[in-house]
Amino acid sequence: MPDPQHPWYLPLLSPTRRALHALGLMPAARRARAFFRRNAPEALKSSNLAYQAKLAIETATYATQANVHELPGIFHYWSNRYLGPKARAAGFSQPDDFFAQHLISCYDRAGGTRRFISIGAGNCDTEVRVARAIAGTGRADFVIECLEINEAMLERGRDHAKAEGVAAQVLPVKGDFNFWQPAGKYDAIMANQSLHHVTELEALFDAVRGALSPHGRFIVSDMIGRNGHMRWPEALAILHEFWRELPKEYRYNRLLQRHEELYENWDCSDSGFEGIRAQDILPLLMERFSFELYVGFGNLIDVFTDRAFGHNFDVASEWDRDFIDRVHARDEAEIHAGRLTPTHMFAVMHTGPQGEMRCVDGLTPAGSLRKSQ
């Protein structure tokens, strides 16, 4: 079972608005939002002012977050019961193991000091744990560069790596993944819940492709649903069916501190970069890489297990567990019938020709694309 302190993936809804209010940045956020709505998508590509405004919001939001992984108990109930078996079918036990296993495979295919990089590493906590796991196998001749623009998070990463005895293997590096220019080749490149913050996906993926050694792998865990982590109309209709079953106290948004009689399909990218181009991640990867492993999962369940509403559920309650079980079952049925598409993935890719690809439950990358976006 995963350690509750090291859950499966980053929170589905970061506490952006609460942080903005606390930091006095809400007026700037509203101005940036208005600018983007008037000018998108050109603003994303051409306006340095708008980009810098959103970047300032994003940086301030995460600067004070020492623990960006905290999730409700009901999430761990769901992930242990349903996501764990999918992971084991794909050959790993939990996300740290996913990254460690595939970095070890790349390590064994290379020579000399193996060079890895993590794109958007945040506090470097995953990278520190993965470095310890790799070093624990006797493989110590490697460096994981941790690319991150937020200096406060990098500093926490440096301190954490030193405290855990992997300062020689974990190297925090300041940089913006939207404009990353690789210096040389890498034996593996990993991205853990960072790609859904990237505006310049095409440029980043082209840089990754050019920087991978022939034996290298691009190892990714990320969110691939609708932009801003919204639900597409077909998913929203089903979500509202379940929403109407919830007792009033379960409809309270803990992050935004408000009651939602009917679930609000909020765009998380309004203020910062949360989910800014999530729906483009998978198709752009498919254009540039060959998949070696793919695990797609989740959709409706996100809303009921994340930090906004998940804390309203009690794992000890039979009704609560049954509700989550039913939402998950509906997710699975709708995804495999092709009526819904997954919002999350684990994937391992390379730049060579497409060979044999391992998938879980028969769900392929192509089968995970929504027909019209």
In three-state form (DSSP H/G/I as H, E/B as E, the rest C), the secondary structure along 41-110 is CHHHHHCHHHHHHHHHHHHHHHHCCCCCCCCCHHHHHHHHHHHHHHHHHCCCCCHHHHHHHHHHHHHHHC
Rg for the chain (alpha carbons), in Å? 20
Largest CA distance in the chain: 60
Residue 364, amino acid:
T
CB burial class (10 A; 0-12, 13-18, 19+) of residue 253? Answer: middle
CB–CB of 216/189 below 8 Å? yes
Distance in angstroms (rounded) separating the CA atoms of residues 330 and 371: 20
Residue 26, amino acid:
M
pLDDT of residue 11: 34
Distance in angstroms (rounded) separating the CA atoms of residues 4 and 176: 30
Token readout for 315 is 């794992």
Q: Which domains does the chain have, with CATH numbers?
A: 16-368 (3.40.50.150)
Question: Which candidate, 296, 275, 273, places its Cα nearest to that of 232?
Answer: 275
Give this prediction's pTM.
Answer: 0.83
Query: Which residues partner with 221 through β-bridges?
Result: 192, 346
Tens digit of each residue's pLDDT (9 = 90 or more) over 263-280? 999 998 887 889 999 999
Percentage of the chain beyond pLDDT 70 is 81
DSSP 219: E
Tens digit of each residue's pLDDT (9 = 90 or more) over 284-340? 999 999 999 999 999 999 999 999 999 999 999 999 999 999 999 999 999 999 999
Region for 167 from its dihedrals, namely left if φ exceeds 0, alpha if ψ lies in -120 to 50, beta otherwise: alpha
pLDDT in tens, the chain (373 residues): 333 343 343 333 333 444 444 445 545 554 555 544 445 444 444 456 555 555 555 555 444 444 434 789 999 999 999 999 999 999 999 999 999 999 999 999 999 999 999 999 999 999 999 999 999 999 999 999 999 999 999 999 999 999 999 999 999 999 999 999 999 999 999 999 999 999 999 999 999 999 999 999 999 999 999 999 999 999 999 999 999 999 999 999 998 899 999 999 999 888 788 999 999 999 999 999 999 999 999 999 999 999 999 999 999 999 999 999 999 999 999 999 999 999 999 999 999 999 999 999 999 999 999 987 6
CA angle 172, 177, 180 (to 5 degrees): 95
CA angle 352, 103, 289 (to 5 degrees): 25
